[in-house]
Amino acid sequence: MTAFGDFVPPNDADLIDEPINPVVFGIELSPQILGVLIALVGLGGAIYLFVKVVQPVAATNATLRADIATKEGQLVSQSQELENIAQLEAALAAAMDRRRQVYSLFASEATMDTLLLDINQRIESSNASLNGVRNQVRSRGIPALLVEAKLETFKPGEQAVITDGSLGEAVNNKLKRETYSVSFSGDYAQTQSILRNLERLEPLLLIRNFKVTSGDPVAETVIGAGGQVVVQPKVPLTTSFEVDALLPTADADVPPEIAPPEPVEPIDPAATGEPVPPPEGG
């Protein structure tokens, strides 16, 4: 007789108890666990890439940005320095122009070479008005006797640097003096005209020891109001003086040397009577 019941063959029972998912180290790797493991592996890889790749690149970028900022700051500083240099150069050029203008007021070696000629021309020009009178007198068969201006002496002296403070302490060693002894003769009107013309000479001149002496009257032959030749007395004058020509000792085209500032010594409070602070930690 055959009996039927809930009989399970032994081999089938083994298949039912065996896990469906793979087991590693006694842990069944279910889909959930596999997902977590994959996520952990991905996170670890991301952290590894961040540490090994992203962080060095970020550090390099930060260094480059810092270098760029430093270079940009240097460019700005250099641009400001160039602007300051341009302003200083413009100020120096303006100062040199003013220096040349001031120096042009003084005498120079070139103007001193023509000083005798300039003075003599001023004296001769004062005689220009006499030519007409002389010709009129001579046309009447009368010898013309007129007082004419004439340069009597012109003696150049020595050239010396001014150090005696005679023109002020500020110009000591900055100007030199060249002295000339001059004398000329003529009547009053001629003398006045010559002196006025001397003031118009280009170089800066100082006149010293000015002296005027009169001579014996001279009978001049001139044309009177009626057109007749008349004789009238005129007193000739002799004028003598010394001319100081002032010349700069420096070159107008060379900037002056600027002495460096003297170091400032610390002030001792005890010397000024101020209370001395106590030492630190006392």
Q: First and final CA of the chain: distance in angstroms?
A: 120
140-167 tens-digit pLDDT: 767 777 788 899 999 988 888 989 888 8
Q: What is the pTM (predicted TM-score) of this model?
A: 0.57
Query: Which amino acid appears at position 47 of this protein?
Result: I
Q: How much is the pLDDT for 154?
A: 93
Count, residues in the chain: 282
Query: pLDDT tens per residue, the chain (282 residues)?
Result: 455 455 555 555 454 555 566 666 666 667 776 677 777 777 777 787 777 777 788 788 888 888 888 888 888 888 888 888 888 888 888 988 998 888 888 888 888 888 889 999 989 888 887 877 777 777 776 777 778 889 999 998 888 898 988 888 888 888 898 999 999 999 898 899 999 988 888 778 889 999 999 999 888 777 777 667 777 888 899 999 999 988 888 888 887 777 677 776 666 666 566 665 665 554
How far is the C-alpha of 110 from the C-alpha of 108, rounded, in Å?
5
**Helix %, strand %, coil % of the chain (to 5):** 45, 20, 35
Position 240 scores a pLDDT of 96
Nearest to 141 by CA among 37, 221, 256: 221
| pLDDT for 191 | 92
What is the C-alpha separation between 244 and 208, in angstroms, rounded?
Answer: 8
- Residue by residue, DSSP assigns 167-220 as T-GGGTTTEEEEEEEEEEEE-HHHHHHHHHHHHTSSS-EEEEEEEEEE---EEE
Distance CA 109, CA 265 (A): 45
pLDDT in tens, 32-68: 766 777 777 777 777 877 777 777 887 888 888 888 8
